[in-house]
C-alpha cells in the first residue's frame, strides 16, 4: 500500500469517528433524547423576560450580541448575559452522552480519548499539544495582563463603577469574552459603511480577493450560499454565526452568513471568502478526493484570518471610504483594537480556558457534576473573568458554545491559527521592499507566489502536487511544501539555521524568532531578516 493510499484510509477512519456524534445508531441512542437538535437549541431565540414557565419576550441571539456590544445599562446587560446561558441547561446531559460516545469511538481506534484522536490530525500527541498551548499562554500572559488592566479601567469608567479585580463577564462586549471589540470604546472604523448594502459588503470581499490574485467565485457559490438574515416568515431556522463548507470537495463551496450592517460583518465577509478560496484551491484533480481539506484545520483558519486582517488595513479602508475622509486614525488605538478584538485576547480563551476544559472533559473524563465549577475556575485563572453571580451546577455554561458541539476537542485550532496568521503576515512583510507599503499591497504582490491559488498555473499545480505529497508525509509539512510559509529554520547546537519540518518544530522556531535577544539567535536565519523578526508580534518577557 502506498503512503497516499494509507493516508486516505486513515482519513476515512477519522471521518467516520467524527461523524459518530450525529449519525450513528449508537450516537442517536447515546444522545438519549428526542428533543430538538443541538443547533436548534443554540440558534433559537433567547428568552430575556421569563415569568414563571411563560416567556414574555424572546430575542434572536444576534440581538443579544448587539445589546452586549452597545448597551451601557448594566442591569440590562446582566439580564441578557444570564439569559444567553439558558441553552446550557438543555445541552448538559446531551454533552455528557456525546463525550462518552466520542471517547468510546476513539478508544476503538486506539486513541486515549477523543481529544487524542483530534490532536493526531496534526501528527502530535496530547502532551505535545498541551505543552505548546501552555507555553503559548505563558508567553502571551504579561501582555494579556496589561490589556486586561487597561480594559477594566476603560469599562469601569464607561459604566461608572469602581475598577474591579476581575472582569465581570456581563461587562464585556461579547457573550464569551473571546473577543473584546472596542476595548471599552463604542464604535469601530466603520462609519463609512453606513448606507452600504449587505450585498455590497460580500461583493467587496470578492473584489478584494480577486485583486490579490484569487480567481472569481463561480456563479454556483452565489446561488447556493445563504448570506442574508432570514425573513420572519421564512419557515426555517438559521444557525447564528458564519460558516463555509466545501460540499463536494470539488466546485460546490457555500458560505452561511447573516450579513447586516457593521464593521464586524465586513471583516467576517472577507474571512469567510478566504475559506472559500482556500477550499477551491484544493478542488484539483492532482489532490486525492479525501485529502482536499487544507494543510490542517488551523492553517485553513489562518488563511481566512490573514485575509480578514489584510482587509482591516488602513489604506484599504480609506480607499473604500470605510474610514471617513479626513478622519485621523490613532495608531495606538488601532493596535489596541487589533489586540483586543482579533489577537491577544483570544489566546487565554482558546489555548487555555476552552482547551483545558476539553482536556479535562475528554482525557480526564471529568464528572458532569463538576463541569460548571471547573469551567469558571479556568475562566477566572486564565482570562481573569468572573460571572455576575455564582453559576449553578445544573447548567453547563460553555456547552452552548457552537464550536464545542460542531467541532469538539479542536479549540486549540484557533490559537494555532493565530500564531500561523502572524507567521504569514510576517512573511508577507518580509517580502516587501517598498518602505511603508501596506499589507494589502504585499498580499497583492505576493499572492501568485505564496498562495496555493494564483495566476501562475504551473506554480499552482506544483504547489497542489506538493500538497498531496505533503499530506502523505504528514500534513504539517504541507505549508512549506506549497510555498505558503518560509522554510522553517531550526537552530542547531552549532549555531546554524537549517530547515526543519513539522508544525510543532516550526512553531517552536517561530517562538525563538520572536525572542532573539533571549535566545541569542545566530545572526543568519536567511528567510527572516533580523529587522523583520518581531513585526506584528507582541514583545514581552516570558511569563
User: Do 90 and 396 meet the contact criterion of CB atoms below 8 Å apart?
Assistant: no
- Check binding of 311 to Zn ion (CB under 5 A): no
Q: Which is nearer to Zn ion, 159 or 243 (CB)?
A: 243
Closest-by-Cβ residue to Zn ion is 304
Interatomic CA distance for residues 446 and 442, integer angstroms:
6
Structure-block grid coordinates of residue 530:
533580523
Q: Give the nearest distance from C-beta 342 to Zn ion in angstroms.
A: 12
- Check binding of 497 to Zn ion (CB under 5 A): no
Going by C-alpha positions, the residue among 535, 541, 491 that lies closest to residue 515 is 541
- Check binding of 253 to Zn ion (CB under 5 A): no
- Check binding of 304 to Zn ion (CB under 5 A): yes
Interatomic CA distance for residues 169 and 174, integer angstroms:
9
Tell me the window of 129-137, 254-262, 276-284, 304-312 that interacts with Zn ion (CB under 5 A).
Answer: 304-312
Structure-block grid coordinates of residue 171:
461587562
What does residue 85 show for φ and ψ, rounded to 5 degrees? -90, -5
Tell me the window of 70-78, 93-101, 260-268, 299-307 that interacts with Zn ion (CB under 5 A).
Answer: 299-307
- Check binding of 295 to Zn ion (CB under 5 A): no
Question: What one-character DSSP code corresponds to residue 326?
Answer: T
Q: Which is nearer to Zn ion, 144 or 414 (CB)?
A: 414
Q: Give the nearest distance from C-beta 301 to Zn ion in angstroms.
A: 5
Q: Give the nearest distance from C-beta 243 to Zn ion in angstroms.
A: 8
Tell me the window of 155-163, 297-305, 320-328, 346-354 that interacts with Zn ion (CB under 5 A).
Answer: 297-305
Other CB atoms within a 10 A radius of the CB of residue 542 amount to 11
Number of H helices, E strands in the chain: 24, 8
Q: Give the nearest distance from C-beta 244 to Zn ion in angstroms.
A: 7
Tell me the window of 22-30, 300-308, 376-384, 513-521 that interacts with Zn ion (CB under 5 A).
Answer: 300-308
Going by C-alpha positions, the residue among 185, 172, 338, 214 that lies closest to residue 267 is 338
Tell me the window of 303-311, 389-397, 474-482, 510-518 that interacts with Zn ion (CB under 5 A).
Answer: 303-311
- Check binding of 447 to Zn ion (CB under 5 A): no
User: Do 84 and 175 meet the contact criterion of CB atoms below 8 Å apart?
Assistant: yes
Q: Give the nearest distance from C-beta 366 to Zn ion in angstroms.
A: 28
Q: Which is nearer to Zn ion, 77 or 300 (CB)?
A: 300
Q: Which is nearer to Zn ion, 301 or 397 (CB)?
A: 301
Q: Give the nearest distance from C-beta 304 to Zn ion in angstroms.
A: 4
Give the 3-state secondary structure of 351-412. HHHHHHHHHHHHCCCCCHHHHHHHHHHHHHHHHCEECCCCCCCCCCCCCCCHHHHHCCCCCH
Q: Give the nearest distance from C-beta 174 to Zn ion in angstroms.
A: 16
Tell me the window of 296-304, 345-353, 390-398, 439-447 that interacts with Zn ion (CB under 5 A).
Answer: 296-304
Tell me the window of 68-76, 197-205, 294-302, 460-468 that interacts with Zn ion (CB under 5 A).
Answer: 294-302
Structure-block grid coordinates of residue 48:
430575556
Q: Which is nearer to Zn ion, 301 or 341 (CB)?
A: 301
- Check binding of 416 to Zn ion (CB under 5 A): no
Q: Which is nearer to Zn ion, 144 or 299 (CB)?
A: 299
Tell me the window of 1-9, 147-155, 156-164, 302-310 that interacts with Zn ion (CB under 5 A).
Answer: 302-310
Q: Give the nearest distance from C-beta 308 to Zn ion in angstroms.
A: 9
- Furthest C-alpha separation in the chain: 72
Interatomic CA distance for residues 301 and 18, integer angstroms:
19
Q: Which is nearer to Zn ion, 171 or 278 (CB)?
A: 278
Q: Give the nearest distance from C-beta 381 to Zn ion in angstroms.
A: 27
Residue with cell 498562495: 451
Interatomic CA distance for residues 49 and 86, integer angstroms:
12
Q: Give the nearest distance from C-beta 214 to Zn ion in angstroms.
A: 16
What does residue 86 show for φ and ψ, rounded to 5 degrees? -55, -40
- Check binding of 350 to Zn ion (CB under 5 A): no
Q: Which is nearer to Zn ion, 304 or 344 (CB)?
A: 304
Q: Which is nearer to Zn ion, 298 or 366 (CB)?
A: 298
Other CB atoms within a 10 A radius of the CB of residue 262 amount to 18
Structure-block grid coordinates of residue 100:
462518552
Tell me the window of 145-153, 189-197, 293-301, 398-406 that interacts with Zn ion (CB under 5 A).
Answer: 293-301
* Total of chain residues touching Zn ion, rule CB under 5 A: 2
Q: Give the nearest distance from C-beta 305 to Zn ion in angstroms.
A: 7
Other CB atoms within a 10 A radius of the CB of residue 377 amount to 14
Interatomic CA distance for residues 377 and 75, integer angstroms:
24
Residue with cell 436548534: 40
Q: Give the nearest distance from C-beta 267 to Zn ion in angstroms.
A: 11
Burial 52-72 (b: 16+ CB within 10 A, else e): eeeeeeebbbeebbebbbebe
Binding mask 41-60 for Zn ion (x = CB under 5 A): --------------------
User: Do 122 and 154 meet the contact criterion of CB atoms below 8 Å apart?
Assistant: no
Q: Give the nearest distance from C-beta 275 to Zn ion in angstroms.
A: 6
Residues near Zn ion (CB under 5 A): 301, 304
Amino acid at each position: 500500500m502506498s503512503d497516499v493510499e494509507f493516508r486516505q484510509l486513515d482519513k476515512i477512519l477519522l471521518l467516520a469517528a467524527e461523524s459518530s456524534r450525529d449519525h450513528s445508531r449508537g450516537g442517536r441512542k447515546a444522545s438519549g433524547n428526542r428533543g430538538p437538535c443541538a443547533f436548534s437549541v443554540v440558534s433559537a431565540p433567547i428568552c430575556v423576560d421569563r415569568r414563571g414557565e411563560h416567556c414574555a419576550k424572546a430575542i434572536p441571539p444576534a440581538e443579544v450580541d448587539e445589546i452586549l456590544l452597545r448597551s451601557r445599562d448594566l442591569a440590562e446587560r446582566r439580564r441578557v448575559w444570564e439569559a444567553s446561558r439558558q441553552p446550557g441547561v438543555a445541552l448538559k446531559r446531551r454533552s455528557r452522552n456525546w463525550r462518552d460516545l466520542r471517547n468510546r469511538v476513539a478508544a476503538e481506534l486506539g486513541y486515549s480519548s477523543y481529544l487524542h484522536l483530534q490532536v493526531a490530525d496534526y501528527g502530535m500527541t496530547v502532551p505535545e499539544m498541551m505543552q505548546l498551548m501552555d507555553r503559548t499562554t505563558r508567553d502571551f500572559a504579561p501582555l494579556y495582563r496589561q490589556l486586561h488592566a487597561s480594559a477594566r479601567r476603560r469599562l469601569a469608567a464607561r459604566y461608572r463603577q469602581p475598577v474591579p479585580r476581575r472582569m465581570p463577564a456581563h461587562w464585556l462586549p461579547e457573550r464569551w469574552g473571546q473577543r473584546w471589540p472596542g476595548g471599552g470604546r463604542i464604535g469601530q472604523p466603520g462609519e463609512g459603511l453606513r448606507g452600504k448594502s449587505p450585498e455590497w459588503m460580500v461583493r467587496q470581499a470578492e473584489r478584494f480577493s480577486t485583486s490579490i490574485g484569487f480567481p472569481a467565485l463561480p456563479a454556483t457559490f452565489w446561488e447556493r450560499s445563504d448570506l442574508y438574515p432570514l425573513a420572519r416568515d421564512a419557515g426555517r431556522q438559521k444557525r447564528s454565526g458564519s460558516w463555509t463548507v466545501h460540499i463536494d470537495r470539488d466546485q460546490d463551496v457555500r458560505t452561511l452568513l447573516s450579513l447586516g450592517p457593521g464593521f464586524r460583518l465586513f471583516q467576517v465577509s472577507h474571512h469567510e471568502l478566504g475559506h472559500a478560496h482556500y477550499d477551491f484551491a484544493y478542488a484539483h484533480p492532482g489532490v486525492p478526493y479525501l485529502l482536499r481539506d487544507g494543510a490542517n484545520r488551523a492553517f485553513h483558519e489562518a488563511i481566512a484570518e490573514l485575509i480578514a486582517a489584510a482587509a482591516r488595513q488602513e489604506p484599504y479602508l480609506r480607499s473604500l471610504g470605510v474610514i471617513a475622509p479626513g478622519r485621523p486614525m490613532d495608531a495606538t488605538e488601532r493596535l489596541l483594537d487589533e489586540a483586543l478584538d482579533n489577537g491577544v485576547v483570544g489566546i487565554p480563551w482558546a489555548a487555555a480556558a476552552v482547551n483545558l476544559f476539553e482536556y479535562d472533559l475528554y482525557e480526564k473524563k471529568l464528572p458532569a457534576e463538576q463541569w460548571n465549577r471547573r469551567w469558571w475556575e479556568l475562566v477566572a485563572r486564565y482570562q481573569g473573568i468572573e460571572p455576575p453571580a455564582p453559576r449553578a451546577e445544573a447548567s453547563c455554561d460553555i456547552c452552548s458554545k457552537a464550536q464545542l458541539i460542531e467541532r469538539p476537542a479542536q479549540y486549540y485550532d484557533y490559537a494555532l491559527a493565530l500564531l500561523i496568521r502572524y507567521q504569514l503576515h510576517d512573511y508577507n512583510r518580509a517580502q516587501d521592499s517598498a518602505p511603508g507599503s501596506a499589507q494589502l499591497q504585499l498580499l497583492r504582490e505576493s499572492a501568485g507566489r505564496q498562495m496555493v491559488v494564483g495566476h501562475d498555473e504551473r506554480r499552482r499545480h506544483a504547489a497542489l502536487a506538493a500538497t498531496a505529497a505533503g499530506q502523505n508525509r504528514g500534513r504539517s509539512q504541507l505549508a512549506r511544501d506549497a510555498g505558503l510559509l518560509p522554510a522553517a529554520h531550526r537552530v542547531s547546537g552549532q549555531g546554524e539555521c537549517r530547515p526543519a519540518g513539522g508544525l510543532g518544530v516550526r512553531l517552536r522556531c517561530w517562538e525563538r524568532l520572536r525572542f532573539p535577544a533571549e535566545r541569542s539567535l545566530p545572526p543568519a536565519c536567511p528567510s527572516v531578516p533580523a529587522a523583520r523578526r518581531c513585526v506584528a508580534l507582541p514583545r514581552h518577557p516570558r511569563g
